[in-house]
A and B are shown apart, each in its own frame.
Chain A
Amino acid sequence: MHVHFLDPYRPRRSPIHALDARVKFVLTLAFIFSVALTPLGAWPIYILLFALILSVEVLSELGVVYVLKRAALAFPFVLAALPVVFTTPGEAIFTLSPGPWTLTASLPGLERFASIAVKSWISVQAAIVLAASTPFPDLLVAMRAVRVPRMLVAIFGLMWRYLFVLVDEVLRLLRARAARSGISDDSKLKTGGTLTWRARVAGGMAGSLFLRALERSDRIYMAMVSRGYDGEVRAMPLPGLKPVHWIVLTCGIGILAFLVMIAYLLWS
């Protein structure tokens, strides 16, 4: 059993996939930064930012439904912002009284909550498009281009390379446990022993995963040394950006800067 489905990269032949990863990376960060800079309640700007990212989704041929579905996964966190509806002072809209409490929702509170939710929703879509349209090695190149330390990039790269191996390891551990503990589909039947026993078994699995990883890292290190690794991370110099990529980068940042400026002029 392998876990290649874990990789969110979806190969397509779209202009977004063909775009240089460095440009995509910087534009994604710029987009999320612009969304964060847009003041609360600047709804027209939110619509335009959403239209922008939606256009990129259409262009990327990933399927808008796919992106929106994945974006919904990040939604439960919105609960954390729900209380601001009731605690922000302002014009009251409705009052709830669950039990002994009285909660009064205010209009500015509702606007603040909706703004946070929408901003978060738009931002996560940009991150999804980046991850789904860029293979991980290209993301590493982009990280190098924005001056992430080479050593850290190398650690990221090695982690990704062995992530699937170790996830397979975990799946084998889980399968072994399932095979030995007689799981029943009937939810009324108790499975396994006491809570501490179950925790100890899971802990033992984590411990053995750790030891296996340590030993594997030793073997990997030996293999690297025998191939001439001397602790220095060497990489090909980054190729220059093509003029068309510079144009896309400048236009993208220009549009975002323009939207943020309009937002500040009209809503701050």
Chain B
Amino acid sequence: MLYAPEPMHIPDGFLSVSVSVVLWIISIVVIGYALKRVGKDLGERQVPLMGVLAAAIFAGQMLNFAVAGGTSGHLMGAAIAAILLGPWAAILVLTTVVGVQALIFQDGGLLVLGANIFNMAVVGVAVAYMTYQTVQKLAGGRKWGILVGGFAAAWLSIEIASLAAALELALSGTSPANIAVPAMAGIHALIGIGEGLITVGALAFISAARPDLLESKDERQVGGAVVWVVGLLLALVLAIASPLASSHPDGLEWVAEQKGFLDTAQGSMYEIIPDYVFPGVTNEALATIIAGIVGVAIVFGVAMGVAYLRRNREVTE
């Protein structure tokens, strides 16, 4: 199989509705701003450049190399996009990649797409940009800054994005924090090494072939300071919050409890008729049996319909 699903794409059903909706809203706001920003910076070049680079990142995820024991490392691309294109364009490129992965290949769900965009396109890009810029400043323009910065940006962005995913799962009550956080962090610490090595290889190649692409460009830095601060904050908050959440599950339970209140509050909205019981349907077992029968009837009816359509078509053809 050419296309390998990654462990960071959360499928539908794993996040609660409230977590999904909140992250959708955050992602929509960020994408809207990024569209405006990139439109200003790139003008009419925006559509072809973003589209083709998104296709390149998507296709580039097939470039793999054997690590050990049948596992392989491959590229995810948040870091390399953030380094080469600047933060706003990288957010758009990764949003497109994650969107097509969900819409076409079912790699990640549709209702949770907002959360997946948040993890990979927002957190991943912001953290990668922050890390790379910091190392660049420290290196003062020497070549090791590009390579070390590239590795650090790739590794850290994967790691922090996976912490975000783990916390979302924990908040949704899908996976307890004291297991989800260490498991996700552990797996992605390894995946991040593969990503880091491949990013360094790519940057070394690009700095040899087209060094102009890696020179810091002032016009791309507009709004860069904000992304830098946001990236640092996201990295710090997630790096501190997740070990805390996993060692003090009580704290998260408290949050879940608050959310539980919200859910019950929501639920009572639907309870138009309190203690309503269907006439004759007094318990769950009976309801299940009836649902089963109705379900079979639906499918049977549709199958009959298809058979009928087929026969009609054969007659007309």
Question: Please, which residue of chain B has its CB at the minimum distance from the CB of A187?
Answer: B70
Once A58-B302, A74-B11, A265-B276 are accepted as A-B contacts, the answer to whether A155 and B51 lie under 8 Å apart by CB is yes
Min Cβ gap A226→B in Å is: 13
Residues of A within 8 A of B105 (CB): 8, 131
A246 beta carbon closer than 8 Å to chain B: no
Interface-facing stretch out of B96-104, B123-131, B218-226, B227-235: B96-104
Among B58-66, B132-140, B236-244, the one that faces the other chain is B58-66
The listed residue (B14, B55, B200) touching A213 by CB distance below 8 A is B55
Whether, in the assembled complex, B185 has its beta carbon less than 8 Å from a beta carbon of chain A, the answer is: no
Could you say which of B20, B295, B301 contacts A36, with CB atoms under 8 Å apart?
B20
Residue of A nearest to B291 (CB): A44
Whether A203 sits at the interface, judged by CB under 8 Å, is: yes
Chain B 152-209 interface residues, beta-carbon cutoff 8 Å to A? 169, 173-176, 179-180, 183, 194, 197-206, 209
Whether the Cβ atoms of B302 and A209 lie closer than 8 Å is no
A110 on the interface (CB 8 Å rule)?
no
Interface pair B43/A210, CB less than 8 Å apart: no
A155 to B65 alpha-carbon distance, docked (Å): 30
In the assembly, what is the distance between CA of A29 and CA of B103, in Å?
A: 11
Interchain CB contact (< 8 A) of B111 among A7, A33, A50, A231: A33
B contact residues, range: 35 or more
- A117 surroundings in chain B (CB, below 8 A): 13
Is B65 a contact partner of A201 (Cβ separation < 8 A)?
Answer: yes
Which residue from A32, A152, A167, A199 sits with its C-beta under 8 Å from B35? A152
Q: How many residues of A contact B (CB 8 A)?
A: 113
**Given known A155-B51, A203-B202, contact A265–B13 (CB-CB < 8 A):** no
Cβ-based interface call for A10 (8 A): no
Which A-chain residue is minimally distant from B165 (CB atoms)?
A80
A189 close to B (CB within 8 Å): no
Q: Does A73 contact B (CB under 8 A)?
A: yes
Residues of B within 8 A of A71 (CB): 106
Instruction: Contact check, B51 vs A29: say whether CB atoms are below 8 A apart.
Output: no
Q: Considering only CB atoms, which chain B residue lies closest to A225 in the complex?
A: B44
* Interchain CB contact (< 8 A) of A158 among B10, B47, B179: B47
Shortest Cβ distance from A156 into B: residue = B96
Contact present for A127 and B63 (CB under 8 Å): no
Q: Are A119 and B100 in contact (CB under 8 A)?
A: no
Interface: B305 (CB within 8 A): yes
A145 at the interface (CB under 8 A from B): no
Contacts of A162 in B (CB 8 A): 51-52, 55
Q: Closest CB-CB distance, B220 to chain A, in whole Å?
A: 14
Docked-complex contact B12 and A119, CB < 8 angstroms: yes
Contact of A149 among B32, B104, B106 (CB under 8 A): B32
Q: Which of B54, B66, B204, B284 contacts A43 (CB 8 A)?
A: B284
Does the CB pair A131–B39 fall under 8 Å? no
Residues of B within 8 A of A256 (CB): none
Assess the A213–B44 pair: CB atoms within 8 A. no
Q: Is B294 an interface residue (CB 8 A)?
A: yes
Q: Would you give the shortest CB distance from B63 to chain A, in whole angstroms?
A: 5
Is A248 in the interface zone, CB < 8 Å from B?
A: no
The complex places the Cα of A157 from the Cα of B194 at a distance, in Å, of 30
A123 within 8 A of B: yes
Chain B proximity of A126: nearest CB distance (Å): 8
Contact B14 A198 (CB under 8 A): no
B262 adjacent to chain A (CB < 8 Å): no
- At the interface, yes or no: A11 with Cβ under 8 Å from chain B? no
- Asked if B26 lies at the interface with its beta carbon under 8 angstroms from chain A, I say no
Indicate whether A19 reaches chain B with its CB closer than 8 angstroms. no
Interchain nearest-CB distance for A5 vs B (Å): 9
6 closest pairs, A vs B, by CB? A203-B201, A158-B51, A231-B44, A120-B13, A51-B295, A207-B205
Interface residues in chain B, defined as those with a beta carbon under 8 Å from any beta carbon in chain A: 2-3, 5, 7, 10-14, 16-17, 20, 31-32, 35, 39, 43-56, 58-60, 62-68, 73-75, 80, 84, 92, 95-97, 99-100, 102-107, 109-111, 169, 173-176, 179-180, 183, 194, 197-206, 209-210, 213, 264, 267, 270-273, 276, 278, 284, 287-288, 290-292, 294-296, 298-299, 301-303, 305-306, 309, 313
